[in-house]
Structure 1
Amino acid sequence: MSVTTKKRTRTQFKEGLILTSLMLESKRATFKRPSIIREAEREESPEYVPPSKASRKTPVIQLKKTSAQSTKSPKQIKGKEEEKKNRQSVLSDFFFKKSCKSAECKLSGEQYHKDVIICDICNDMYHWQCTGTLTEMLDCGTDYMCSYCEKQYREFKKFRANTIITDQDDDKCPFCKKGLNGSGSKKQQPKKCLKCVKQFHSGCFSSDQMFCKQCLKIYNQTADELFPQPILRQSAHHSPISPKLQTQGSLSSFFNQAKKTSALSVFTTPMASKKLDGQIFSQGMKVKAKKRSASVSNKRKKPSFKLPALIDDPLLDDDVKDSFKRSFYVKGMRYVTSLVYDHNDCPESMNDPALEAKVQILIKENNDAIYQLREREKAGILPPVLIRYEESQGFFVEAAIDLPDLCLICEYLGEVRTARQSLFNANDSIMELLDTGDSDTSLSIIPEKHSNIGRYFNSINNKNVDSRKKQNVRSIRCQLDGKVTVLLYTKRAVKKGEQLLYNYNEAKECYPTDDFV
C-alpha cells in the first residue's frame, strides 16, 4: 500500500467521525423522551409555578434483587409446602371429626358435610335440617345457639338472679344488730369478713384482719381438715405461735425434717436412682472411675426446668402454711396433689393426649423435674410462695424466696370436667386441659372443691403495656405418663416479694382482663 492511500484513509476516518457526531446531536435535539417533553411543555405554559426546594423529591434508586435473595432453596420451598399441607390436614381433620350432635340426624354421604352450622357457645356441629327450629340455612356471620346451650343459659340466668337477691342484706351489723352507718358524730368504717362476706363494725369485728369472730372460731376447728396428713405432720414439728415461743428443740427438729424431705425428694426420683445405680458398686461400695468428659459442644443441653429451693427459715415456712390454710378456708376447697376425677361422665380414661395434636412432649430432664415436684408434694413440702389478699385485686401469689428462671412452681389442679359440663360454670379460674373440637370430649380443670396454689395466680392486663411487662410466669400443656397436665413455671428470675403473674389469654382470647390492676 502506498503513502497516498494511507493519508486518504485517515482523512476519510476523520470526516466520518465528524458526520456521526453531528447526526447524534441532531437526534438528541429532535427525538426527546416523553417525560422531558411533558416537563418542557409544562414550563412553557403561563400557569406554571416552579416548585420549592422542600417539595422537590430526591430520586429513589431501586436495586434489583440478587439471585440469592430472589430465589429460595428447594428445602425452604418443600418446608413451606409441608407446613401448608399440615395446616390443611389439621383443619380438615378438625372439621371432619365433628359429627352432628342431633340424635335424629339421617343425613349421610356428600350431603353430610354440607349445610352445617356450629354453635357459638359449645362449638358443636349441627345440620340446620336437624335442629328442628330453623327453616333454612343461616347466613355467614349469623350467631347460633343450640337448644342445649339455650336451656343451660336460662338456668344460669335464674341462678344468677336468685343469688343477687339473696346476697342483698340489711345495713346492720350481724353482731350488734345496729346500723353500719353509725349515729351522731362517731362513724365507724365497716369491715368485711372474707368467709361469710358480711360487714361488721370495727369494734364488733375480731382481732383477725380476714375473718369475723364466728368464722374465725370455725377456722381454728376445721382448717386442718383442708390439707392432707403429710403437710400436717411436717408442720407439727415446727408450728410456733409467736417467735418468742420458738425453742432450740423445735429449730433442730425443723432442720432434721427438712433434710429428710430434701433427701426423699432427690433420691426417690427415677433420674437420681439411675445415677446412684451407675456410680456405686454393690460390693465394697467402691466408686466407679469417671468416664472421659465430653467436648464443650456435647455438654450444651437444652434449658430444662429447675425446682425451687427449700425454705430454711421455720418462721417463714409457718407463714406460708398459714397463708395457704386461710385462702383455702375462704374458698372452701381441699388441697390436693393430683387431678380429681369425681364425675361418672368424665372418667380418667378421657384424658388422652392422642386426641389433640397441640399437646407438647417434654424432654427427659423436664419429666424428671415433674416427678421430683410430685414427690415433694407427697412429702408435704409446699411451694415457696405466699397467698396475699387485697380488696383491689382479691387473692394473689407472692414469691417467698428468690426463684430462678424456668423454676417449676406447680401443676394446675382441680376437678376435671368436660367442656359441655363447664359451659355456664360460675367459677372464674377454669383452665383448658384438652381441646378435641367436641364439647363432649374436650376437658377443663375447674378448681371448685379441690385445688392447689395454681388457682390463686392472677393475670396481667392484656390492654396495658406496663402490665404486660410484669408477666413472670407462663403455663404449658404437656403429656406425662400418657396423661395431659398443665404446668406453671417462671419465665425469668423472680425476686422475693414480687407478685407472680401470667397471661390468662396466652393461648386463646377468652378471658376479659380490661379491669385488671
Structure 2
Amino acid sequence: MVVSLRRRTQATNPRSDLPRSLAVAFDSELDTVCEECSSGKQPAKLLLCDKCDKGFHLFCLRPILVSVPKGSWFCPSCSQHQIPKSFPLVQTKLIDFFRIKRGPASTSPESCIGKKRKRTSLVMSKKKRKLLPYIPTVDPQRRLEQMASLATALRASSTEFRNELTYVSGKAPRSANKAVLEKGGMQVLSKQDAEALALCKNMMDRGECPPLMVVFDPYEGFTVEADRCIKDLTIITEYVGDVDYLSNREDDYDGDSMMTLLHASDPLQCLVICPDKRSNIARFISGINNHTPEGRKKQNLKCVRFNVNGEARVLLVANRDISKGERLYYDYNGYEHEYPTEHFV
C-alpha cells in the first residue's frame, strides 16, 4: 500500500516568519469569522487575506484549499481569480511544450493486448492480474486537445512538464532511491508489467498521451476526467516530481500534493515525491474524501509503489472499469489516515 505524507495546515509553534494566513491559528483573541459561513470555529483552518484582512476557511473557499498556502495569500475578491487561460491548440507549441520526440508511431497497445488475450483463458487472466498499458485516443485532433488541457493546468500552476522522477541539487540524490530500504519490503514489478509501463512511457514521449482531459472545476479546481472508457488494471500514469528526503519537508506548510516514494525503517532515509515544480498529469488527479462511504464509492484508482530495477516508483492504476466522462479519484492516504481528507469532495 502507498504511504502519503501528511501535509500540514498549521505549525506547532508561533514564528515571526510565518505567513499572515497562519496568524489566526496563534492568536485566540482575534475576532475573525469566515466570510462564507460566518463562523469563527476551527481557527487553525481560517485564512486571513493579506490585502483586505477578511477571513476564509480552507474548506469554504471555491476551489477548496486542502492546506495552508505558503507565503502571501489573497482572497478571491482581491486576487480577481479567473478561469485559467487555455493553452494554444497549436501542434508545434504542444510538441515543444511536452518535448515530444518526432518519429514513427509506436506499436498499438490495443492490438498487442488483443493478441495476448487470445492466447490466454479468462481464468488465467484474472489470476495473473497483469497491468495494462493505456490506449491512446485514435483521433489526433482530440489528442491535441487532451495535451492542451494538461498544458493549461501546468502553466497555470507554474509547473514544468516531466514524465519521470527528477533528482535536483540540494534534494535527495538518485542513489538514495533504493527499494531495498522499504520497511517490510516492496513488491517487485514483474517483467510483463514493466514492459507495459515502458510502452506507456514510449507512447507519451511520442505524443500518444493517456485518454484524459484536465478540466477546471469551480469547486475542485483542476481535476481529471476519462476521455474514453478505461479498463480495470490500466496504468493511468506514474506519479512523478522532484525526489526529496521527508526530513527536508517536515516544515513545508504548503506540501502541494507530496507523495511518499520510500517508507524506510530509518526516518532519515524516507523519500517523498514533490510535484510542485516538475510533474505530469498525476498532480491534478484528485484524492477522495475517505471519511465517508460516499467518498470511497468514487474511488476508481489505486496508488501502488513498486520496485522497478531496484528503485522505488509510484503508479496510479485503474482499480475498476472507468466510464468516459468519469472523474478520477484515489485514496491519497493509502493506509495512513492522518491527512484531513474530510475536505476533499
Q: Same-fold call, TM > 0.5?
A: yes
3-state SS of the aligned residue for 1:514? helix
Deviation at 1:218, TM superposition (A): 11
Residues 428-437 or 486-495, more deviating: 428-437
Deviation at 1:311, TM superposition (A): 0.9
Kept after mapping to 2: 8 A contact 1:352/1:483: yes
Does structure 1 residue 353 correspond to structure 2 residue 197?
no
Deviation at 1:507, TM superposition (A): 2.0
Kept after mapping to 2: 8 A contact 1:195/1:330: no
Q: How far apart in 1 are the matches of 2:163 and 2:303?
A: 18
Q: How far apart in 1 are the matches of 2:165 and 2:302?
A: 20
The 1:158–1:492 alpha-carbon spacing in structure 2 relative to 1, beyond 3 Å, is same
- Residue of structure 1 equivalent to 2:159: 333
Looking at secondary structure, tell me which structure has more strand per residue: 2
Kept after mapping to 1: 8 A contact 2:304/2:315: yes
Kept after mapping to 2: 8 A contact 1:430/1:444: yes
For structure 2, the 5+ residue unaligned runs are 1-5, 24-46, 54-73
Does structure 1 residue 382 correspond to structure 2 residue 209?
yes
Matches within 5 A, 1:38-437: 158-161=17-20, 168-169=50-51, 198-199=79-80, 209-211=83-85, 227-230=97-100, 260-263=104-107, 302-356=128-182, 357-425=184-252, 426-437=254-265
Matches within 5 A, 1:446-461: 446-461=274-289
The 1:194–1:407 alpha-carbon spacing in structure 2 relative to 1, beyond 3 Å, is farther
- Residue of structure 2 equivalent to 1:441: 269
Which structure has the greater CA radius of gyration? 1
Which amino acid in structure 2 is aligned with residue 263 of structure 1? T
3-state SS of the aligned residue for 1:478? strand
Looking at secondary structure, tell me which structure has more helix per residue: 1
Q: How far apart in 2 are the matches of 1:447 and 1:334?
A: 9
Kept after mapping to 1: 8 A contact 2:49/2:75: no
For structure 1, the 5+ residue unaligned runs are 1-120, 122-148, 172-192, 234-256, 270-274, 276-292
Query: How well do the aligned residues superpose, as a CA RMSD in angstroms?
Result: 4.0
CA deviation map 1:431-472 (0-9, x unaligned): 000111333211000111100111111111112211211110
- Residue of structure 2 equivalent to 1:511: 339
Q: How far apart in 2 are the matches of 1:297 and 1:494?
A: 22
Deviation at 1:428, TM superposition (A): 2.9
- Residue of structure 2 equivalent to 1:501: 329
The 1:197–1:385 alpha-carbon spacing in structure 2 relative to 1, beyond 3 Å, is farther
Identity %: 27
Which amino acid in structure 2 is aligned with residue 311 of structure 1? T
Deviation at 1:170, TM superposition (A): 6.0
Q: How far apart in 1 are the matches of 2:323 and 2:301?
A: 13
3-state SS of the aligned residue for 2:155? helix
Question: Which structure 1 residue ranges, 4+ long, deviate > 6 Å from structure 2?
Answer: 162-166, 193-197, 216-220, 264-267, 293-300
Q: How far apart in 1 are the matches of 2:263 and 2:19?
A: 28
Count of residues paired in the alignment: 285
The 1:161–1:481 alpha-carbon spacing in structure 2 relative to 1, beyond 3 Å, is same
3-state SS of the aligned residue for 2:312? strand
Which amino acid in structure 2 is aligned with residue 305 of structure 1? L
Kept after mapping to 2: 8 A contact 1:327/1:387: yes
Which amino acid in structure 1 is aligned with residue 20 of structure 2? A
